[in-house]
């Protein structure tokens, strides 16, 4: 059958989608990007915050319309929204044939066909009263159909989360933290490199916690050292490190492995101690500044990315100013700012959502304006710098310009480098080229190939 697939949410969810796509293709089905041509439509959903939840619902309704009026015969909904609202989805959107939760990835083929699963595949959940299936953790033996460009791919090194951040629903949706064995991650990375992947990006809910659940202290450093030895890989990137689990051996591995990007993604969420306590997050501005000084000392030239939440319950004007002063003092290389979303099922839902939406948005805007000025200054100082660029392809804005990234830029979430005065047909995605920065354009850089 022809299978149409919509994947929403974070890179961790994308990996689940790619495994499901791989299983579908392995079972003999073909994939189509045109929902009107699909016999079966699958939507892998996100439910982290209200905008993501709404995007998922909109996508389901759009695919349901194709089922009602077109070729599609079955509609499958998977992922976090399904895990959170399994019964409600079936009741309110009757076009849905099968709902798969976060642990039901292996059931995708039987969900597509409507037939009982064969072999070792887990059966479809029959009712809310049924015993929960074992916690799913994919491995290198499962097929994956990459949906990223062929030169980079995500590897999920662990599933679930052991933290209890008051704003987050993920532990309820994904379960306890469980790491994959080092040798299994290495086997997958080696397979991806053989397929032409140049950059692998390691993801989990807390990548710096990797191996701790298995009582393997120092596992992340050992994993990076093993990945660094794989032929064909050029860059290895880490996303989602938790401030209390960033160890010196991890920092030493980032600094010492030539293929590991000197890039630390450290979602801190806030800096005011009172807000962090209500968030059930550790530390405060002083401890975070010490951590960042330590990272910069141990990894010369490191790029640091973080995310903040504005408008968390009880956030005062003074708390927010503390956050602004922190951002100004640290000068993060990349910063994402989200407004607080009051989510049922989180412990923060018991707090009064007392910061008006307009105030949340205004505070978000203040931080992003500050970040824009700081990054603009830093980027202008880079004019004349010689850099190595990983080519991503032609720029959507102009087919005559090539877009790429530095080691300091992760795909999809960070800025980019635009190569001008170049023959676009002479470069392919995945090429590594030398260039010189010639201009700064807001968050982005402009460069010219070295002759």
- Residue 118: per-residue pLDDT: 54
pTM, 2 dp: 0.93
Q: Comparing 2-113 with 386-449, is the CATH topology the same? A: no
- Per DSSP (E only), the strands in 311-362 are 334-339
Average pLDDT over residues 344-367: 96
User: In sequence order, what DSSP letters do the residues of 184-230 get, joined into one string?
Assistant: HHHHHHHHHHHTT--EEEEE-S-GGGTTGGGT-TTHHHHHHHHHHT-
Average pLDDT over residues 424-451: 94
Query: Cβ(160)–Cβ(178) under 8 Å?
Result: yes
- Residue 129: per-residue pLDDT: 41
Residue 117 pLDDT > 70, yes or no? no
Spell out the CATH class of 152-380: alpha beta
Taken in order 362, 367, 372, 373, the sign of the CA dihedral is positive
Domain 386-449 is of which CATH architecture?
Beta Barrel (2.40)
**121-159 tens-digit pLDDT:** 444 443 344 445 558 899 999 999 999 999 999 999 999
Residue 116's pLDDT band, with cuts at 50, 70 and 90, is low
Compute the distance between CA of residue 33 and CA of residue 40 in angstroms, rounded to an integer: 12
> Tokens 């090429």 sit at which residue?
431
**369-380 tens-digit pLDDT:** 999 999 999 999
- Single out the residue of 241, 161, 236, 251 nearest to residue 192, CA to CA: 236
> Is domain 2-113 in CATH 3.40.50.300, yes or no?
no
Residue 294 pLDDT > 90, yes or no? yes
At residue 378, the 3 state secondary structure works out as helix
Q: Where are the domains of the chain?
A: 2-113, 152-380, 386-449
- Residue 389: per-residue pLDDT: 97
Query: β-pairing, 303-310 with 263-265?
Result: parallel
Q: Provide the mean pLDDT of the chain.
A: 93
> Which distant-in-sequence residues (6+ apart) come within 8 Å of 263 by Cβ?
237, 238, 302, 303, 305, 407, 408, 410
- Single out the residue of 268, 215, 223 nearest to residue 249, CA to CA: 223
Average pLDDT over residues 424-428: 90
Average pLDDT over residues 58-74: 92
**75-114 tens-digit pLDDT:** 999 999 999 998 899 899 999 999 999 999 999 999 999 8
- Residue 115: per-residue pLDDT: 80
Q: Which residues pair with 17 in a beta bridge?
A: none
Compute the distance between CA of residue 268 and CA of residue 208 in angstroms, rounded to an integer: 14
Lowest mean pLDDT among 74-83, 131-140, 301-310, 405-414: 131-140
Query: β-pairing, 158-159 with 178-179?
Result: antiparallel
Task: Give me the sheet containing 30-32, strands edge to edge.
Answer: 30-32, 2-7, 40-45, 74-79, 98-99
């Amino acid at each position: 059958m022809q299978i149409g697939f919509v994947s929403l949410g974070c890179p961790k969810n994308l990996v689940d989608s790619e495994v499901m796509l791989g299983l579908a293709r392995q079972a003999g089905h073909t994939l189509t990007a045109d929902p009107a041509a699909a016999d079966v439509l699958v939507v892998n959903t996100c439910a982290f915050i209200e905008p993501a939840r709404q995007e998922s619902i909109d996508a389901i309704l759009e695919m349901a319309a194709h089922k009602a009026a077109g070729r599609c015969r079955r509609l499958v909904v998977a992922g976090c929204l399904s895990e959170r609202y399994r019964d409600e989805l079936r009741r309110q959107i009757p076009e849905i044939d099968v709902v798969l939760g976060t642990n039901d990835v292996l059931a995708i083929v039987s969900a597509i066909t409507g037939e009982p699963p064969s072999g070792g595949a887990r059966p479809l959940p029959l009712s809310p009263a049924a015993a929960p299936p074992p916690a799913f953790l994919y491995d290198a033996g499962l097929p994956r159909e990459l949906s990223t460009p062929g030169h980079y791919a995500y590897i999920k090194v662990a599933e679930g989360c052991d933290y209890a951040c008051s704003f987050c629903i993920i532990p309820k949706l994904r379960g306890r933290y469980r790491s994959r064995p080092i040798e299994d991650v290495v086997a997958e990375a080696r397979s991806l490199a053989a397929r032409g992947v140049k950059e692998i990006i390691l993801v989990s809910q807390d990548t710096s916690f990797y191996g701790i659940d298995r009582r393997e202290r120092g596992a992340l450093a050992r994993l990076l050292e093993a990945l660094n030895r794989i032929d064909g890989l050029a860059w290895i990137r880490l996303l989602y490190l938790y401030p209390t689990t960033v160890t010196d051996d991890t920092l030493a591995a980032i600094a010492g492995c030539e293929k590991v990007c000197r890039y630390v993604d450290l979602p801190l969420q806030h800096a005011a101690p009172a807000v962090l306590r209500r968030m059930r997050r550790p530390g405060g501005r002083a401890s975070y500044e010490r951590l960042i000084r330590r990272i910069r000392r141990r990894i010369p030239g490191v790029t640091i990315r973080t995310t903040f939440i504005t408008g968390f319950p009880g956030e005062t004007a003074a708390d927010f100013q503390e956050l602004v002063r922190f951002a100004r003092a640290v000068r993060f290389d990349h910063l994402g700012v989200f407004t607080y979303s009051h989510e049922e099922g989180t412990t923060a839902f018991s707090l009064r959502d007392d910061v008006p939406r307009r105030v949340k948005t205004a505070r978000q805007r203040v931080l992003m304006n500050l970040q824009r000025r700081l990054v603009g200054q830093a980027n202008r100082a880079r004019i004349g710098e010689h850099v190595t660029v990983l080519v991503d392809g032609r720029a959507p804005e102009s087919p005559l310009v090539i877009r790429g990234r530095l080691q300091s830029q992760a795909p999809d979430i960070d800025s980019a480098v635009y190569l001008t005065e170049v023959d676009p047909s002479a470069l392919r995605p995945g090429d590594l080229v030398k260039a010189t920065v010639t201009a700064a354009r807001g968050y982005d850089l402009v460069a010219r190939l070295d002759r």
